[in-house]
Chain A
Amino acid sequence: MSGISDTERMITLKTVEGTLFDVKSSIAKDLKTVQAFIDDSDDDVTSPIPLPNVFTRELSRILDYLNNHHRFRSGIEKADEEMARYDAEFAKSMSHEELKALILAANYLNVKDLLEFLNQTVADVIQNKSVEFVRNFFGIENDYTPEEEEKLRNENEWAFNGVEQD
């Protein structure tokens, strides 16, 4: 196709389920893992790039986030407020399971800004919660015996004031 500049070149990504996504190369740059793959290839990448660890739901969300953020950044001044509102909605729209899955995907694809945002979101969710809640959230097994845990809680008694109820 004539007349298409370098920034509008399309990259195709394939998720675990086999779904294909066409992504502008300017967006693909934010997926550092993908960009590294492209940079490492000797020829132009024409066939779909397989992403063995990424599911359709996650890739769709990530691309949605990146597309919106690119739009905000290239737009007019007022974008800061709009971006904050979008981010808040984005975080709220996910269940904890979805949030975790998205972090894993963003980490694998190395999407720096989104990952920082998701890490902050999780930090905000868990900071005031009980130990049991945090274990459930991350799917972590408690490897302390009841006695060990009792001792720990006493040692760190100062940290147990003012905790939100689950």
Chain B
Amino acid sequence: MEEKKQKSINDILPLDLIQRILLRIPVKHLGRLKCVSKLWHSLISDPDFAESHLHLSLASTHACIYKKNSTEAYLIHLEEAFNDKNYKVRELSFPFKKPPPSEFRLMGSCRGFVLLHQEPHFFVVWNPLTGFSKRVSYSWLDIVHRTKGRYFRFSGNAMLYGFGYDATLDDYLLVIAWKDSNCPLLDCFSLKTNSWINLDAAVPKPLSLMEWRSRGLFLNGSIHWFSYYLEKHHSDGLLVFDLKERSFSKISLPEQLEMRDAATFFILGGCLALCSQDYVGCKTHIWVMKEYKVHSSWTLYVIPCLEFEPLCLSNDRDVVAVIYRSLKFAKYNLREELLQRFRCPLFRLQTFNWTWCTVYTESLLPFPSNSKHKDKKKKKNAI
């Protein structure tokens, strides 16, 4: 009887149970678990599984890439850094064959991929977890040639930039608005087909005049930018570009948001969020749009310290952040309203700059490849 019982216990758990367990394991361990057996390998390698893992967020890990120099970066796993006393920050090499000729920026992240951009030479899409990278080179001539007939003085300054994903085409897109003395040029680069798509028709007139390079954030199929007029201390709200419809719209800000200084814009727990400083009360105000595009869902959280820059939401209740003035990391528990400060070992911040840093959710999603082999060579020459 005992023998019989043992046998039934050692029955392999049904596939769907194994899958449900694997969905609860952080992505970085899944690479190893591919080696368990061929069945596990095909389970974990399945792109649908990677999609489910990303969307269900049962075990999402947020990582922060912070540029150390032109060839190396720090990698910090934000959930672990604050819960594990022995956590060590890793150092990674950027996926360049040789150091880039000049400054490059971290342009954002989307579904586990980080985008690096060095104007005007190249883009690199990089998954720091798996090491996958894809490099696309381009030159100013490519841009200028496509504006043929139109007077366009290329000053090489991107006004807006964003990195996002179009689910209907399974394509990663870069959206860039170049500044021109006359009018902006709105461009879109498809990373799957390696080609530029002109989107001038979609440009809202007038396009908000951001005073500095504004990075976009990808959420729910759209790229979002925060529009802000430095001199007027005024914001028009959030500019939204729907990647599927290829059209712009706006999201208005909470009326109570005071804009004495520039607010910063980020995504927290899958929601759009803004933070502004209250220098009088020495507090940071964080506004979170709890329901996407529902104006009445803007909710205020008051953090009892200044210059608290959120990086991510961990465990649905802890806001992990960096504090500008002291260059320390901090964690704020929303339920208990408790703030804790940390120093991250082996990683002393000299300064904090969003162009040197990006936060992303780790994923095992494969990068789409262009099935049109015929046109590939042609397009490669054009680039």
Q: Do A and B actually bind? A: yes
Footprint of B on A, CB under 8 Å? 55, 97, 100-101, 103-104, 107, 119-120, 122-123, 126-128, 130-131, 134-135, 138-144, 149, 152-153, 156, 158-160, 163
Q: Which residues of A contact B38 (CB under 8 A)?
A: 143-144
Complex Cα spacing A55 to B26, Å? 33
Q: Which residues of A contact B21 (CB under 8 A)?
A: 119, 122-123, 126
Q: Which residues of A contact B5 (CB under 8 A)?
A: 55
Stretch in B28-36, B192-200, B288-296, B374-382 with 4+ CB within 8 Å of A: B28-36
Closest A residue, CB atoms, query B41: A152
Contact A119–B9 (Cβ < 8 Å): no
Contact A126–B25 (Cβ < 8 Å): yes
Complex Cα spacing A78 to B243, Å? 47
- With beta carbons under 8 angstroms apart, the residue of B8, B26, B30, B35 that contacts A152 is B35
Q: Which residues of B contact A128 (CB under 8 A)?
A: 29
Complex Cα spacing A40 to B169, Å? 45
Number of interface residues, chain B, beta carbon within 8 A: 33
Residue B13 at the chain A interface, CB threshold 8 Å: yes
- With beta carbons under 8 angstroms apart, the residue of B8, B14, B40, B131 that contacts A107 is B14
Contact A156–B13 (Cβ < 8 Å): no
Q: Which residues of B contact A153 (CB under 8 A)?
A: 35
Q: Known: A127-B26, A144-B37. Is A163-B12 also a contact (CB below 8 A)?
A: no
- With beta carbons under 8 angstroms apart, the residue of A138, A143, A159 that contacts B31 is A159
Q: Which residues of A contact B13 (CB under 8 A)?
A: 100, 103-104, 138
Top 3 A-B residue pairs of the complex, sorted by shortest distance between their CB atoms: A159-B31, A123-B24, A156-B31
B75 to chain A, nearest CB (A): 11
Instruction: Give B174-216 interface residues, CB cut-off 8 Å to A.
Output: none
Q: A138-B13, A139-B11 are in contact. List 16 more A-B contacts (CB 8 A).
A: A97-B9, A100-B9, A104-B11, A123-B21, A126-B21, A130-B32, A131-B33, A135-B37, A138-B12, A139-B10, A144-B37, A149-B35, A152-B41, A156-B31, A156-B34, A158-B130
- With beta carbons under 8 angstroms apart, the residue of A97, A131, A158 that contacts B131 is A158
Contact A127–B36 (Cβ < 8 Å): no
Residue B64 at the chain A interface, CB threshold 8 Å: no
Residue B17 at the chain A interface, CB threshold 8 Å: yes
Residue B271 at the chain A interface, CB threshold 8 Å: no
Q: Which residues of B contact A101 (CB under 8 A)?
A: 9
Closest A residue, CB atoms, query B16: A107
Complex Cα spacing A107 to B17, Å? 8
Residue B20 at the chain A interface, CB threshold 8 Å: yes
Contact A143–B37 (Cβ < 8 Å): yes
Contact B14–A141 (Cβ < 8 Å): no
Q: Known: A104-B11, A139-B12. Is A119-B31 also a contact (CB below 8 A)?
A: no
Q: Which residues of A contact B129 (CB under 8 A)?
A: 158
Instruction: Give B1-60 interface residues, CB cut-off 8 Å to A.
Output: 5, 8-14, 17-18, 20-22, 24-26, 28-38, 40-41, 59
Q: Which residues of B contact A130 (CB under 8 A)?
A: 32
Complex Cα spacing A127 to B18, Å? 13
A81 to chain B, nearest CB (A): 13
Complex Cα spacing A150 to B46, Å? 21
Q: Known: A119-B17, A122-B21, A138-B13. Is A159-B30 also a contact (CB below 8 A)?
A: yes
Complex Cα spacing A130 to B31, Å? 12
Contacts A/B (CB < 8 Å), 26 sampled: A97-B9, A100-B9, A101-B9, A103-B13, A103-B17, A104-B11, A104-B13, A107-B14, A123-B59, A126-B33, A127-B25, A127-B26, A131-B33, A131-B35, A131-B36, A134-B36, A138-B18, A140-B40, A144-B37, A144-B38, A149-B35, A156-B34, A158-B131, A159-B31, A160-B31, A163-B32
